[in-house]
């Protein structure tokens, strides 16, 4: 059963049961206690707590969830997903334990034909909280579960709360027994791998305080109502119903593994170490796309950091599989296609999503490239010295300075014939962790960093910024910090912060990225990687001492990396033009809400109460902006009073604080804006501006992204090559391509539909012959045969039912097998007459399962399953025959 079908059945079941279907909340809810939404109940918290009257007494949802606590387990176990979907039903003071148990039981064990999941009731186990006799009794009464399959567990397992003060309650969990081949007997208390938890029913009635009832601390109060909060793991149910080996092989996740196989040329299932990498990729790709879909971008903090970690782990895993090209865009496409039926916004937002992953991958690959250079130098040095081990501090520096992951260092060192001093590396990592902790503690108490900057400010005043006109300067180091503490000097390799009396370096601000470059002093150099202004008026240069020893009071020659700065300035001027163009086209409501000016590219966010900007408008804006470039206007910057600037019609940004004296940047008379950034001298220097995409990034806010200058040209040139290739391939002129390709796709779709029908007809056509070939086994008509290869489960079931129908009133058993590669599936069906003689389809399965290396089960009328040994079908048929014979005669 496909995952989308599981979701549909769940929702239908509860809507039929009087629940309002509520869409999933965003993964990012305004709940300060959570990084990501991690359970279905999060959006209902105010109703559970009684803070807001619930608009409905019963609700059901399929909630997107992210849990990254177990990220290291991903791919190693059968069941850890960082992104998963929790299907839930909720009662706010309406039904309680009995209702929850009855609803869940009916869906889990209801036959598939009647809309249920069709799990074999004999394989279901449940747990209840310590002395919750009421729940235990209900499981016996409602589900008819024998007492030995209802286990009592303590709070650690069977009390649920959010991990923080708030709603909570005892719970009861539903488990499915995967069978003795997967572990020990004895129910969930003995083995949670064999007995897989699929559903948690929480009887939400308590208010938990600082300490959790999970560990014996009594709740601090009762909720105003007795509520129900349940969570069924959609991926786990899919994994069981699809009869695959783990959650990564289910229909919505597995396609990414397939793409990774194509890209790497390696096969999933061939090597256990590679398999973990495949699974990590599949899991993380999905989480990454879903998280970006909800508006998070990679960064070094909080959610952005989790996202960055996920994305970088994918790239790293792909490299370990031997793929060195960019992968994220491609994996994102696969995720989009798999998930779109439930999350259509992934399609409409895809350009943004793919831009985010591509940018992150670019950045990371650059990191890897520069790291590789350092790595090579280190390896050469070790070998020259006759050593065979890369020192721990080198591995640490690679990690710390270049973001080079240790497992990659290990792998590459191995390839170079060296080992790595891992204990040394880990010791340095630990020391760094301790430092970071002390640092964070210092920041919390309000001392630390800022006071060190303030001391410099008090002693030397603000930094004199020369960067509007100059890209180099002679300056003096007036402040030198290592680990946030003032130091007189810092040696090679030290991460430092440098404050100068004057600087050409632009500090990140107003959407414009920081400059990079170098500070050269007598016998030393500091590589500047970032410039920030943590205290107004101070530019803090962050980087590493690349050679010699940097000293306080030393004179330096400060040099901004020119090409990067120029590309950033071009982007910034282009942002002003796009902003002006949008306002001219859409009116003043198109106000800037954020921007990014990076080398060669820009992002411009603006308010658009009317929603998406039509393509035609974007076209016009792009056209107009490029015409402004050709006019080669002068770009002028000057300072004036805020009032005067306003009078001139300069655009000021909403929410910005401006002093009395402001800087205005104007481009001819096309654009006039308050701005502290750096710009080109004439609009012609921009060369070309290409708008790439327009998308929504939140309610009423749109984003355009654009390329500028050579980056824009290269993009267009690439597209041109692509179109030429397509033209060639489809033998059509470029302007005919959309129609031509549309036609081909249409024909392909028709052909696929036709093929599907022919195949289904052919399968059903064999029903007559199969029924005619029934053999008589002691009065029972037995049809046990191999159906054509590759018949999908649904069709095989339909075929078996058809054959059974043709057996009419006779006592009959139908067993059909269909191989597909090295796997096979089977269906067993019994006629009513056979059932009245005691034949049950589900019970017949074990008689032949061994022969085909399979398992399966079901109801007396219909059972199905799969196996791994198609060659065993004749033996299985023989085994079934003798089972039928002995049952008929016995």
Q: In the complex, what is the shortest distance from the CB of residue 76 to ligand SER, in angstroms, rounded to a whole number?
A: 22
Residue 675, marked binder: yes
Of residues 88 and 170, the one with the C-beta less far from ligand SER: 88
Contact status: 174 vs ligand SER (CB under 6 A): no
Of residues 200 and 516, the one with the C-beta less far from ligand SER: 200
Point out which span in 23-31, 68-76, 175-183, 226-234 binds ligand SER (CB under 6 A): 226-234
Tokens standing for residue 303: 């959610």
Of residues 173 and 294, the one with the C-beta less far from ligand SER: 173
Contact status: 88 vs ligand SER (CB under 6 A): yes
Point out which span in 223-231, 379-387, 396-404, 627-635 binds ligand SER (CB under 6 A): 223-231
Taking Cα atoms as reference points, which of 829, 817, 771 lies closest to residue 793?
Answer: 817
CA 732 – CA 735 distance, rounded (Å): 8
Tokens standing for residue 812: 């009959």
Of residues 204 and 531, the one with the C-beta less far from ligand SER: 204
Contact status: 229 vs ligand SER (CB under 6 A): yes
Of residues 231 and 865, the one with the C-beta less far from ligand SER: 231
Contact status: 41 vs ligand SER (CB under 6 A): yes
The single residue among 10, 96, 159, 160 that binds ligand SER, judged by CB under 6 A, is 160
Tokens standing for residue 688: 């070309």
Residue 794 to residues 484, 653, 748, 765, 825, Cα–Cα distance (Å): 65, 60, 23, 16, 11
Instruction: Return the DSSP state at 1.
Output: -
Contact status: 233 vs ligand SER (CB under 6 A): no
Of residues 130 and 868, the one with the C-beta less far from ligand SER: 130
Contact status: 60 vs ligand SER (CB under 6 A): no
Contact status: 66 vs ligand SER (CB under 6 A): no
The single residue among 188, 219, 231, 293 that binds ligand SER, judged by CB under 6 A, is 231
CA 186 – CA 193 distance, rounded (Å): 12
The single residue among 200, 205, 394, 597 that binds ligand SER, judged by CB under 6 A, is 200
Q: How many residues of this chain interact with ligand SER, rule: CB under 6 A? A: 10
CB under 8 Å to 663, separation ≥6 — which residues? Answer: 637, 638, 639, 674, 675, 676
Of residues 89 and 575, the one with the C-beta less far from ligand SER: 89
Could you give the residue ranges of the DSSP H alpha helices within 547-661?
A: 562-586, 615-630, 642-647
Contact status: 858 vs ligand SER (CB under 6 A): no
Point out which span in 11-19, 36-44, 100-108, 374-382 binds ligand SER (CB under 6 A): 36-44
Taking Cα atoms as reference points, which of 676, 374, 717, 681 lies closest to residue 537?
Answer: 676
Q: In the complex, what is the shortest distance from the CB of residue 310 to ligand SER, in angstroms, rounded to a whole number?
A: 21
Of residues 85 and 463, the one with the C-beta less far from ligand SER: 85
The single residue among 24, 112, 126, 230 that binds ligand SER, judged by CB under 6 A, is 230
Tokens standing for residue 151: 């286990």
Q: In the complex, what is the shortest distance from the CB of residue 40 to ligand SER, in angstroms, rounded to a whole number?
A: 5
Burial, 102: exposed, middle or buried (Cβ in 10 Å; 0-12, 13-18, 19+)?
Answer: middle
Beta bridge partners of 410: none
User: How is 432-490 classified by DSSP, letter by letter?
Assistant: HHHHHHHHHHHHHTT-THHHHHHHHHHHH-S-EE-TTT-SEEEEEEEEEEETTEE-SEE
Q: In the complex, what is the shortest distance from the CB of residue 41 to ligand SER, in angstroms, rounded to a whole number?
A: 5
Rounded to the nearest 10 degrees, the angle between the axes of helix 406-415 and helix 422-444 is 160
Residue 65, marked binder: no
Q: In the complex, what is the shortest distance from the CB of residue 292 to ligand SER, in angstroms, rounded to a whole number?
A: 24
Beta bridge partners of 89: 60
Rounded to the nearest 10 degrees, the angle between the axes of helix 350-384 and helix 392-402 is 150
Rounded to the nearest 10 degrees, the angle between the axes of helix 272-293 and helix 350-384 is 140
Q: In the complex, what is the shortest distance from the CB of residue 128 to ligand SER, in angstroms, rounded to a whole number?
A: 15
CB 471 within 8 A of CB 562: yes
Q: In the complex, what is the shortest distance from the CB of residue 585 to ligand SER, in angstroms, rounded to a whole number?
A: 48
User: How is 225-257 classified by DSSP, letter by letter?
Assistant: EEEEEEEEEHHHHHHHHTT-SSGGGSTTTHHHH
> Which is it for strands 166-177 and 159-161: parallel, antiparallel or unpaired?
antiparallel
Could you give the residue ranges of the DSSP H alpha helices within 591-686?
A: 615-630, 642-647
Point out which span in 38-46, 96-104, 369-377, 465-473 binds ligand SER (CB under 6 A): 38-46
Residue 80, marked binder: no
CA 618 – CA 621 distance, rounded (Å): 5
Of residues 132 and 229, the one with the C-beta less far from ligand SER: 229
Q: In the complex, what is the shortest distance from the CB of residue 225 to ligand SER, in angstroms, rounded to a whole number?
A: 16
Burial, 107: exposed, middle or buried (Cβ in 10 Å; 0-12, 13-18, 19+)?
Answer: buried
The single residue among 7, 19, 40, 834 that binds ligand SER, judged by CB under 6 A, is 40
CB 464 within 8 A of CB 502: yes
Point out which span in 224-232, 252-260, 580-588, 604-612 binds ligand SER (CB under 6 A): 224-232
CB 168 within 8 A of CB 212: yes
Q: Give, as ranges, the residues between 710 and 769 that touch ligand SER (CB under 6 A).
A: none
Residue 576, marked binder: yes
The single residue among 39, 66, 256, 306 that binds ligand SER, judged by CB under 6 A, is 39
Of residues 199 and 425, the one with the C-beta less far from ligand SER: 199
Contact status: 202 vs ligand SER (CB under 6 A): yes
CA 391 – CA 387 distance, rounded (Å): 10
Of residues 166 and 581, the one with the C-beta less far from ligand SER: 166
Cβ neighbours, 10 Å, residue 46: 11
Q: In the complex, what is the shortest distance from the CB of residue 65 to ligand SER, in angstroms, rounded to a whole number?
A: 8
Tokens standing for residue 398: 């690679």
Q: In the complex, what is the shortest distance from the CB of residue 39 to ligand SER, in angstroms, rounded to a whole number?
A: 3
Q: In the complex, what is the shortest distance from the CB of residue 653 to ligand SER, in angstroms, rounded to a whole number?
A: 42
Run of H or E residues at 309? helix 302-320
Of residues 41 and 567, the one with the C-beta less far from ligand SER: 41
Of residues 41 and 635, the one with the C-beta less far from ligand SER: 41
Residues of this chain that bind ligand SER (CB under 6 A): 39-41, 88, 160, 200, 202, 229-231
Residue set of the binding site: 572, 576, 675, 679
Residue set of the binding site for Zn(2+): 572, 576, 675, 679
């Amino acid at each position: 059963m496909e995952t989308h079908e599981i979701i549909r059945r769940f929702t239908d079941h509860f809507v039929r049961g009087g629940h309002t279907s509520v869409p999933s909340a965003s993964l990012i809810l305004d709940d300060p206690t959570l990084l990501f939404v991690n359970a279905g109940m999060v959006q209902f918290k105010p109703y559970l707590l009684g803070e807001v009257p619930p608009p409905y007494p019963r609700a059901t949802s399929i909630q997107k969830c992210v849990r990254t606590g177990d990220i290291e387990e991903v791919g190693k176990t059968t069941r850890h997903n960082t992104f998963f979907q929790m299907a839930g039903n909720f009662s706010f003071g309406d039904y309680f334990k009995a209702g929850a148990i009855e609803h869940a039981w009916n869906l889990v064990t209801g036959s598939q034909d009647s809309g249920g999941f069709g799990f074999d009731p004999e394989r279901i186990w449940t747990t209840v909280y310590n002395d919750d006799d009421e729940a235990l009794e209900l499981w016996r009464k409602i589900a008819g579960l024998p007492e030995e399959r209802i286990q009592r567990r303590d709070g650690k397992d069977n009390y649920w709360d959010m991990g923080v003060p708030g709603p909570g309650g005892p719970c009861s969990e539903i488990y499915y027994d995967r069978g003795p081949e997967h572990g020990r007997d004895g129910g969930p208390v003995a083995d949670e791998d064999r007995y897989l938890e699929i559903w948690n029913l929480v009887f939400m009635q308590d208010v938990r305080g600082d300490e959790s009832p999970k560990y014996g601390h009594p709740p601090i109060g009762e909720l105003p109502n007795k509520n129900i909060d349940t969570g069924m793991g959609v991926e786990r149910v899919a994994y069981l119903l699809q009869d695959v080996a783990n959650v990564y092989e289910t229909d919505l996740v597995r396609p990414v593994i397939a793409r990774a196989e194509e890209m790497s040329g390696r096969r999933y299932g061939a090597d256990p170490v590679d398999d973990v990498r495949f699974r990590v990729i599949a899991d993380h790709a999905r989480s990454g796309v879903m998280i970006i879909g909800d508006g998070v971008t990679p960064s070094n903090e909080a959610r952005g950091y989790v996202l960055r970690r996920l994305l970088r782990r994918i790239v790293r895993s792909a490299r370990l599989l031997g793929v060195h090209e960019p992968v994220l865009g491609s994996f994102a496409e696969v995720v989009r296609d798999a998930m779109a039926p439930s999350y259509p916004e992934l399609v409409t937002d895809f350009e943004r999503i793919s831009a985010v992953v591509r940018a992150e991958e670019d950045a990371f690959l650059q990191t890897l490239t520069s790291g590789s250079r350092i790595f090579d130098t280190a390896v050469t040095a070790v070998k020259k010295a006759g050593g065979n081990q890369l020192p721990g501090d080198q591995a640490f520096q690679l990690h710390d300075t270049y973001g080079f992951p240790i497992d990659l260092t290990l792998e590459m060192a191995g390839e170079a014939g060296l080992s790595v001093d891992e204990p040394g590396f880990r010791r340095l990592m630990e020391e760094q962790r301790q430092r970071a902790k002390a640092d964070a503690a210092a920041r919390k108490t309000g001392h630390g960093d800022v006071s060190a900057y303030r001391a410099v400010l008090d002693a030397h005043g603000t930094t004199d910024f020369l960067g509007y006109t100059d890209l180099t300067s002679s300056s003096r180091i007036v402040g030198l910090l290592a680990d946030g503490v003032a130091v007189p000097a810092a040696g090679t390799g030290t991460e430092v912060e440098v404050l100068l009396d004057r600087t050409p370096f632009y500090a990140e601000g107003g959407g414009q990225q920081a400059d990079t470059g170098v500070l050269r002093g007598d016998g030393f150099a500091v590589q500047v990687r970032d410039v920030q202004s943590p205290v107004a008026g101070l530019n803090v240069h962050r980087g590493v001492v690349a050679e010699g020893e940097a000293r306080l009071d030393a004179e330096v020659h400060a040099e901004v990396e020119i090409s990067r700065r120029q590309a950033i300035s071009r982007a910034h001027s282009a942002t002003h033009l796009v902003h002006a163009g949008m306002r001219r086209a859409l009116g003043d409501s198109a106000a800037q809400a954020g921007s990014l000016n990076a080398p060669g590219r820009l992002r411009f966010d603006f308010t658009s109460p009317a929603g998406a900007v039509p393509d035609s408008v974007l076209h016009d804006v792009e056209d107009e902006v490029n015409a402004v470039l050709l006019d080669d206007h002068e770009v002028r910057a000057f300072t004036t009073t805020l009032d005067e600037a306003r009078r001139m019609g300069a655009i000021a940004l909403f929410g910005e604080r401006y002093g009395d004296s402001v800087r205005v940047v104007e481009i001819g008379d096309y654009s006039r804006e308050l701005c502290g950034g750096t710009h080109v001298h004439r609009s012609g220097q921009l060369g070309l501006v290409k708008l790439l995409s327009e998308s929504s990034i939140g309610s009423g806010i749109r984003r355009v992204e654009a390329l500028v200058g050579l980056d824009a040209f290269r993009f267009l040139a690439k597209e041109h090559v692509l179109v030429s290739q397509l033209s060639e391939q489809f033998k059509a002129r470029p302007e005919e391509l959309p129609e031509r390709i549309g036609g081909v796709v249409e024909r392909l779709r028709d052909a696929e539909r036709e093929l599907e029908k022919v195949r289904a007809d052919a399968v059903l056509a064999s029903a007559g012959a199969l029924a005619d070939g029934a053999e008589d086994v002691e009065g029972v008509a037995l049809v046990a045969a191999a159906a054509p290869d590759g018949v999908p489960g649904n069709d095989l079931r339909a075929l078996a039912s058809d054959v059974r129908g043709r057996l009419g009133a006779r006592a009959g058993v139908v067993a059909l097998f269909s191989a597909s590669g090295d796997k096979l599936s089977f269906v067993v069906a019994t006629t009513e007459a056979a059932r009245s003689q005691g034949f049950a389809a589900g019970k017949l399965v074990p008689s032949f399962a061994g022969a085909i290396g399979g398992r399966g089960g079901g109801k007396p009328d219909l059972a199905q399953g799969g196996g791994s040994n198609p060659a065993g079908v004749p033996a299985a048929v023989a085994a079934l025959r003798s089972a039928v014979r002995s049952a008929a005669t016995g």
